[in-house]
Structure 1
Amino acid sequence: MTTLLREVIGDVLRQARLSQGRTLREVSDDARVSLGYLSEVERGRKEASSELLSAICGALEVPLSRVLTDAGETMERRERVAARPVATASGATIDYSTRVVIPQAVSMAVA
């Protein structure tokens, strides 16, 4: 399954908030962002604009560049793991990064 950037950025923001021992309400008040919207961003449900990310980072006193760097490094690790071939019980390997299209079976009527 593909990891979305908005999910990774949300994880990074949540980790920053939790490491500071702050609540969603505190950060949302400081960032002037609704609590519900901040929650959606942290859960990766909403794609935050650059202005919104800047406001949240300002409230957390974390540089936006740090959030983006951490998110990029996390994405790289996840992509590396996803691209790693997996060994099966028979010893064969499955490369999940390879996309294969399997056509639908077509039934043929016999007259």
Structure 2
Amino acid sequence: MATAAGKTGNGMKSTPDLEADIKQLRADIEALAKQLAKTGEHGYGTAKRAALKGADELKTQGDAAIEALRANARDIEDQVLTSVREKPVTSLAIAAGIGFLVALLARR
């Protein structure tokens, strides 16, 4: 990117040539810095989009899992209510037994 400049008779570049080379070098560095900034912004944007997409997918999966758990809980509740309605004495005996066991464990 830097331009070649003419040399004086002793092989050294003249001051105007050096100044032109320095000016060209500064322009090249500025262009490179701008390109690096664009690349960084692009990479950040891509990573942000991927993270947002992943978060949305996880939220959707979580919502589906919660809904499935709620449905299972409703099914179990319905089964327990049906069982209690069909066999109230047996259900009462089971509840009393569980209460007794919990009381024994809590006492220790």
TM superposition score normalised by structure 1: 0.27
Structure with the larger helix share: 2
Larger Rg: 2
